[in-house]
C-alpha cells in the first residue's frame, strides 16, 4: 500500500510555491519521494523559496515565470524538461484574489484575476501535457476553492475564476484520460496563509464568521492539504478523474449552526 502513495522517481512542478499552500504541497511531495520544481513570478520570490526549501533539506529547482505568459511558460517548461526531466505531476497553485465589491471592481481587475487563476492553469497544463502524453501518463491537480461552489460579497472575479477552474478540471480530465493523465482538483476551505491574513485579524468579524461556518470550528492549515495532494499525485488515484476533493473541515456539508 505504501507504494500506492509513493512519488519516487517523479518530477513535480508546483506553481506559485515560494510559500503558502504551494510550498506545503511541494514539501509533502518531496517526503513522498518526488523531485521538486517550483516557480514564482519574480526572482526574489524564487530565491526566498529556494532558501526555505534548502533549510528544509530539499534541493528544489526554482524558475521565474508568469503563469499567464504563454511564451515564458512554454520556454521554461522546455528548460525544466531538459534540466530536470519530464514533468510527471503538475499542481496549478499560483493564484491571486482581489476583494472588491462588484460595483466598484474595474474590468481590468476582474480580467487580471481570471487571467492568473483560470487562464494560467490552462496555459501551464497545455504546455506540460505533451510531455506527459509522450511518457505514458501524468497527474494534474488544480487548486480550486470554496468559491468553486459558493459566492460571497467582494470576490466575484475570484469565484468566477475558481468556478471556471472546476469545469476546466473536469473538461481536461475528459480530454486527457485516454493518455492516462488524471486531472483533478483540491478545494481548500479557509486556510491560514498570507492570502487570508487580512481576514484572520483577531476580532475581525470574518474570523468568527468562518469559524461558525466550519463544522471543524477552526481555520485549516497548509498541512491539512498535504495528504490529499499526495493522494491525487500518486497511483492511489489512478482511477480518479475530474474530481474536486474539498478539504474544508465540512463547510460545504453544513447548513449552519442552529440559533440557540
Ligand atoms: P498566496 O499565499 O497568495 O500564494 C500564491 C502564490 O502564487 C504566491 O507566491 C504568488 O506570488 C504566486 N503568483 C501569483 N500570481 C502569479 C503568476 N502570475 N505567476 C506565478 N506565480 C504567481 O496564496 P495561498 O493562500 O498559498 O493559495 C495558493 C492557491 O490556493 C491559490 O490558487 C488560492 O486561490 C488557493 N486557495 C487558497 C485558500 C486559502 O484559504 N488560503 C483557500 C482555497 C484556495 P506573489 O507573492 O507575487 O503574489
Ligand atoms: C475569501 C477567501 C477565500 C479563500 C478560499 C476559500 O476572501 O473568501 O480568500 O476565497 O481564499 O478561496 O476556499
Q: Hey, is 63 helix, strand or coil? A: strand
Q: Which ligand is nearest to the CA of 117?
A: 1
Please report which residue ranges of the chain form alpha helices under DSSP H: 20-31, 43-55, 70-83, 107-114, 120-135, 156-176, 205-213, 226-233
Does some domain include residue 258? no
pLDDT for 204 equals 84
Does some domain include residue 185? yes
- Tally of domains within the chain: 1
**Stretch 85-95: mean pLDDT, rounded?**
98
Does some domain include residue 49? yes
Does some domain include residue 191? yes
Closest-CA residue to 229 (of 140, 113, 124): 140
The protein residue with its alpha carbon nearest to ligand 2, atom 12, reads 145
Q: What is the pTM of this model?
A: 0.98
Does some domain include residue 31? yes
Active site residue 158: yes
More confident residue, 156 or 257: 156
* pLDDT over 90 at 259, yes or no: no
12: enclosing H helix or E strand: strand 11-14
pLDDT for 59 equals 98
**Stretch 5-26: mean pLDDT, rounded?**
98
Q: pLDDT confidence of 151, banded at 50, 70, 90?
A: very high
Structural domain containing residue 162: 3-253
92 Cα–ligand 1 center, Å = 10
Closest ligand 2 atom to residue 154 Cα is 7
pLDDT for 257 equals 85
Query: pLDDT digits over 153-188, tens only?
Result: 999 999 999 999 999 999 999 999 999 999 999 999
**Stretch 20-41: mean pLDDT, rounded?**
98
Q: Choose the residue to mutate in 69, 95, 164 for probing ligand 1, maximizing ligand atoms within 8 Å of C-beta.
A: 95
Q: Choose the residue to mutate in 28, 39, 41, 123 for probing ligand 1, maximizing ligand atoms within 8 Å of C-beta.
A: 41
* pLDDT over 90 at 203, yes or no: no
Does some domain include residue 260? no
Looking at residue 257, the DSSP 8-state letter turns out to be P
158 Cα–ligand 2 center, Å = 8
Q: Hey, is 230 helix, strand or coil? A: helix
The protein residue with its alpha carbon nearest to ligand 2, atom 3, reads 190
**The domain that contains 212 carries what CATH number?**
3.40.50.720
The cell numbers describing 113, all together, are: 484575476
Does some domain include residue 259? no
pLDDT for 260 equals 85
Does some domain include residue 211? yes
Amino acid at each position: 500500500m505504501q507504494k500506492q502513495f509513493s512519488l519516487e522517481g517523479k518530477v513535480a512542478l508546483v506553481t506559485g510555491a515560494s510559500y503558502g499552500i504551494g510550498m506545503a504541497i511541494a514539501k509533502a511531495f518531496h517526503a513522498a519521494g518526488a523531485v521538486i520544481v517550483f516557480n514564482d513570478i519574480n526572482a526574489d520570490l524564487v530565491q526566498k523559496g529556494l532558501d526555505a526549501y534548502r533549510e528544509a533539506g530539499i534541493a528544489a529547482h526554482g524558475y521565474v515565470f508568469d503563469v499567464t505568459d504563454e511564451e515564458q511558460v512554454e520556454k521554461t517548461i522546455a528548460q525544466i524538461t531538459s534540466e530536470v526531466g519530464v514533468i510527471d505531476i503538475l499542481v496549478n497553485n499560483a493564484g491571486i484574489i482581489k476583494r472588491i465589491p462588484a460595483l466598484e471592481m474595474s474590468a481590468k481587475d476582474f480580467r487580471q484575476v481570471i487571467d492568473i487563476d483560470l487562464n494560467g492553469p490552462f496555459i501551464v497544463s497545455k504546455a506540460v501535457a505533451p510531455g506527459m502524453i509522450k511518457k505514458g501518463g501524468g497527474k494534474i491537480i488544480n487548486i480550486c476553492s470554496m468559491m468553486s461552489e459558493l459566492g460571497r460579497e467582494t470576490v466575484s472575479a475570484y469565484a468566477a475564476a475558481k468556478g471556471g477552474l472546476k469545469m476546466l478540471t473536469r473538461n481536461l480530465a475528459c480530454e486527457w484520460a485516454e493518455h492516462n493523465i488524471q486531472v483533478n482538483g483540491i478545494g481548500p476551505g479557509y486556510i491560514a496563509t498570507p492570502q487570508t491574513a487580512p481576514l484572520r485579524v483577531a476580532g475581525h468579524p470574518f474570523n468568527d464568521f468562518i469559524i461558525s461556518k466550519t463544522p471543524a470550528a477552526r481555520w485549516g492549515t497548509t498541512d491539512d492539504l498535504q495528504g490529499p495532494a499526495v493522494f491525487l499525485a500518486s497511483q492511489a488515484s489512478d482511477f480518479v478523474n475530474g474530481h474536486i476533493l474539498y478539504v474544508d473541515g465540512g463547510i460545504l456539508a453544513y447548513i449552519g449552526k442552529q440559533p440557540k
